[in-house]
Each structure stands twice: as structure tokens, then as C-alpha cells.
Amino acid sequence: MSQKILKLFIEKGFLLDSEILKFLDELDDENIAYEILNKIALISKRKIITKGLVYENLDKIKPFLFELDSEKKKLVDKYFVDVSISLEFRKERVIEDISENLEEKGEKVVVKVLSSPVIASKKLEVRDFVKYFRNRYNLLRKILYDRPELTNLISIDKVSGNRDFSIIGIVTKKQITKNKNIILEIEDLTGKVKLLINQNKEEVFNKAKEILLDDVIGFRCNGSKDFLFVQDLFYPDSFLKYKKMSKRESYALFISDIHVGSKNFLENNFNRFIDWLNGIGCSEKEKGILSKISYLFVVGDTVEGVGIYPGQEKELIIKDIIKQYESLTAFYSRIPKHIHIIQCAGQHDAVRIAEPQPPVGEDFAKSLHTLKNIHLVSNPSFIEIETGYCSINGANCKDGIKVLMYHGASMHNMINEIEELRLSNAHATPTKVIKHILLRRHLAPTHGETTYIPDHEEDSMLIKDVPDIITTGDLHRTDIDSYNNVLIIANSCWQSRTAFEEKVGNIPDPCKVPLLNLHTRAIKILDFSDEE
């Protein structure tokens, strides 16, 4: 193996010292070796790769190391722990802070990053997609198993006779017949079968019209292996038994789509928001709330970016991506330090387009990483805050309030594909789309409609655990709703209407900020727009 690795590096014009060669040889992973080579080549001009050079740039190659199994992670510790390197392999990170206003009570402001998926770049093969969809199917099938409506569950290869039974499958084809019935082709791990949904079964037919390709659904049906007739269908769906609240009175703010660097960025309005956080221009009642605001969730597209679409340079007032982030940092630095800023990426941020998008890195946003009260996470990510209690009996919960952050790239396609959303102009009411996401327990169900990287271990876009709050951006409109005790918060923007939005008919609703009382779940929309 060592000769193979050495040859690989020499071909690229690099030499290895003996320690790194030994490390890579024991690691026995050509993909990781290749990624280390590529990353080091980008960030260093040195031609000899030493242990010291890898140590200096270990933060840059952490995403690749997340892919290693536990034994290989121990090997990394063996070679690098002696130089005080801590590799954060666990998906859960806990950040605690005792703010001055809470110190006497001893109450802690806690931010737990339960999931912030980082998938290393690598050559993709068909088997990666196969494992990705199998993992999705298996988890959603497990959820559907608990649906009491799905009686006599069998696998597709066990279908026989004409009795009533239930099956769980992933939708691979959907078509409308001349008679206006719906025919689906679904498959599980044992085989494929065709299903017919008759338009005369109005309730079931209306549900079937909303089916997307790659949805995992449970069907109650009868028929033979040649054709099954659907009596009813069920999605995995999202349910919470009760609403969770924080034990103390604390508040969270939600924003997205700031678009710093754009000519359309509403800088004066954003300054007004930050002034408000510092007690300028707010009422006496609001001043009493300011010290209790502990969290600011920023759901992507913080900067306008560079080269996002053809001709974008004409729409930029800051044409350097690094300077865009420096400007954003200047705004953030004026936010009171007791407020934790939790920020995920969006399509305009300086990360890859493919989801899950990693946290914004130091390569373009070094200035952001200097802030002590910011937590940069992936898109999507799963965050836990506060100490929770049950809204039914007031009992303490073992975990806190869980927030799912997702910028929302998949929502445009879902609006186009689902008739109900398309006809109701769901771009203006984003919570309608998010309800469909919660229904499916998946943030981007249809293959090919969003760019993603398949993870052979798990589908990072699955909603494995139902959140207490789901918050999104991208559609540039504020919308609040609830679904089976899940609070839905779709966020506004800080950008006036762009030429692209005019072209597609999207009307933004800028400068609105939801303020959520985590103790009572009461929510108020703060308006920093210029409208009366």
C-alpha cells in the first residue's frame, strides 16, 4: 500500500516524510490519501508533506476524516493527539455559556449541535446511490411499521391471491391513464409491483395526486401480483405528542437571506434591526425582552455570493466574496454577545451547492470564525437549545427544544410538482410546502430535482427525529404555522425585489423577524421594513 500511495503523491509532484507515509500506510484508505493530497496542494505551496504541515492544516481536512470508522479515527488520534489536536468526530457538539444576566441564577444557555452532516468529496459510484436509497427506505419503512392502519404488512414478493394486505414501497413511476386514474410503480427490497388508484375513490385519489417520485409510502390494497388496487395510502408523517417549551423565559429570533454584497441588500433596515437588539428604537416593554434573547437562527444566503448566476456581477456592490463575509462579520459584531448566532449555509454562500452543504469555512469567511458567539453549521442541521418541559403536565423533559434548520432549495420543485401547492401559489405561503416536507419526513424527496451527495451510511436529508421547530428560508417570505405540534417558521429576507424575482413573479416580504418566546411559544413578527 505504501508504494502505491508514494507513487500517487510523486505523480502529483509531492514528496512525503516517513511519518506521514507510515500514517497513510496504516490508514490504508486511498480516497482519504487522495483528499489529503488535493487539500494540501490547494492550501500550501510546499512540495514536501510532513506531519507538521498536516497538523497545521488539520482543520481543513476534518471533513474527510469524518468518513473514517472508529478504528481509523483512533489511528488519527495516535499520530496527532500528541500535538494537542482534538478531532471533533462526534456529530453532537455542546456549547455552554453562562451569560451575565443569568449568572446569579446559575442558568445556562446551551446550544447542542445534534447533527451537522459533513460528507467528504469523493468519486461517486452507482452503489453509493443504491446504499443511499436503501438507507432511506429502511428508516422510513421502520416508521411506517408503527402505523396501526397498515394491517397485514407483507413484502412485495409475498403478494398472492386476492386478499387485503398492506405493503410499503418507494415510488419509481407515476402516470395518469386515459380514464384519469393513477398508476404507480413501486418497489421494496424484494421486488416491484404496479398499483391502481381509481378516481372514484375521491379521498384516496386526492392524496395520490400529491405523490412525488421517490416517496416512501404505505399502501393498503388488494389484488394479485399483476396489479394491486389501492384502498388507502399513508405517509411516514411527523407527530409530536405535546408542545415543548423552555423552563425559563427566553427568546429566539429567526432570519435568513441577508444577501450582503447585493445592490438590493436593504442595509439601512438591517442596521435598524441590529440597533433594536442594542435597545435603540424599541419600546420600554421590548427593552425588558432584549436581555432575554438568547438565540438568533440565520437560515442561509447570508451573502450574495459571486458567480451564482450569469451576469450577477452587475448586481453586486461588493464583488469580492471574502469582503462580503467581512461586511457580514461587521454587522454580526454589533449584535450583543449574549445572543448565540446559529448560522447554516444556502445556495449563495461560499460552499458547494450540493446538499448537505457544509458549514461556511475559513477559506472565504475567516472573519466569521473570529466571532465567539457564532455557531456555523451545515444545511440542513439539527440543533437543541434550552431545557424543555411538557406543555401537557408541566413535567421536565430529558431533552431540550429541537430546531431543524433547512435553507429550502427543494421547495421550488415541490411547488411545481404538487398540484395543490402550485394552484395555491405556495411561494407566498411557504408553510404549506413545509407541511409536505414533514408529511414525507424528507427535506428533498425526489432524485434529480435537487443537487445532493449520497452518503452510503445514511440519508442526511431524512427527518429521523421530529423537531419541535422547523425553520427555512429561500422563498423570501415570512409565514408561521403549526403541524401536529411542530412549529413552522418560514423566514423573510433583507433584499428588495430582484430582476429574477420579477421574472418569475415572486414578491418578497422583506425585513420581518419572528420573535419566539420559548417559555410560552407565543410568537411576534417584528417589522423593520419601510412600510407604514
Q: What share of the chain is helix, strand, coil (3-state, %, to 5)?
A: 30, 25, 45
3 state SS of 411:
helix
Give a yes or no: residue 351 inside a domain.
yes
| Pair (143, 62) in one structural domain | no
Q: What is the pTM of this model?
A: 0.80
Number of domains observed in the structure of the chain: 3
| Pair (61, 161) in one structural domain | no
Give a yes or no: residue 97 inside a domain.
no
| Pair (443, 496) in one structural domain | yes
Give a yes or no: residue 96 inside a domain.
no
CATH, residue 330: 3.60.21.50
Cβ(495)–Cβ(264) below 8 Å: yes
| Pair (250, 193) in one structural domain | no
| Pair (195, 258) in one structural domain | no
Among the candidates 183, 218, 234, a domain finishes at 234
The residue with greater pLDDT, 341 or 10, is: 341
| Pair (310, 180) in one structural domain | no
Give a yes or no: residue 105 inside a domain.
no
Give a yes or no: residue 92 inside a domain.
no
Give a yes or no: residue 135 inside a domain.
yes
pLDDT at res. 123: 81
C-alpha cell at 393: 403536565
* C-alpha to C-alpha distances, 225 to 104, 221, 230, 489, nearest whole angstrom: 69, 11, 13, 44
Note the pLDDT tens digit of each residue in 138-183: 999 999 998 999 999 999 999 987 788 999 999 999 999 999 999 9
Which regions of 300-421 does DSSP assign to beta strands (E)?
340-344, 374-376, 381-385, 388-390, 401-406
| Pair (56, 151) in one structural domain | no
Region 113-137 average pLDDT: 87
Lowest mean per-residue pLDDT among 52-61, 156-165, 475-484: 52-61
Note the pLDDT tens digit of each residue in 348-406: 999 999 999 999 999 999 999 999 999 999 999 999 998 766 655 556 677 889 999 99
CATH, residue 229: 2.40.50.140
Give a yes or no: residue 445 inside a domain.
yes
Highest average pLDDT, of 67-71, 246-250, 283-287, 296-300, comes from 296-300
Note the pLDDT tens digit of each residue in 60-88: 666 556 556 666 666 666 665 433 333 33
Give a yes or no: residue 98 inside a domain.
no
Q: Report the distance separating Cα 264 and Cα 330, nearest Å.
A: 18
| Pair (171, 269) in one structural domain | no
| Pair (345, 455) in one structural domain | yes
| Pair (244, 334) in one structural domain | yes
Range of the domain at 185: 126-234
| Pair (387, 484) in one structural domain | yes
| Pair (260, 320) in one structural domain | yes
Among the candidates 173, 207, 234, a domain finishes at 234
